[in-house]
Structure 1
Amino acid sequence: MTQPVTYSCSSPAAGAVADGSVRRPIRRVQGRHRQRDGGVDVVAHRDPLGLEPPIIKVQCKHTSVHQSRPDVQRLIGTLSSGEMGLFVTLGSYNREALDLERVRRDMCLFTGADVVGLTLSRYDDLPQPWRARLPLRQVYVADREPEGR
Structure 2
Amino acid sequence: MKTNIYKKLVRQYYEELWNKKSKAMIEELFTDDIEFHGSLNIDTKGKKEFENYMDAILKGIPNLHHGIEILLEENATIAVRAIYNGTHSGKLFDYEASNNRIKYNGASFFKFRDEKISNIWVLGDLATLHKQIASPKNSQ
User: TM-score scaled to structure 2, two decimals?
Assistant: 0.28
Q: Which one has the bigger strand percentage?
A: 2
User: TM-score scaled to structure 1, two decimals?
Assistant: 0.27
Larger-gyration structure (1/2): 1
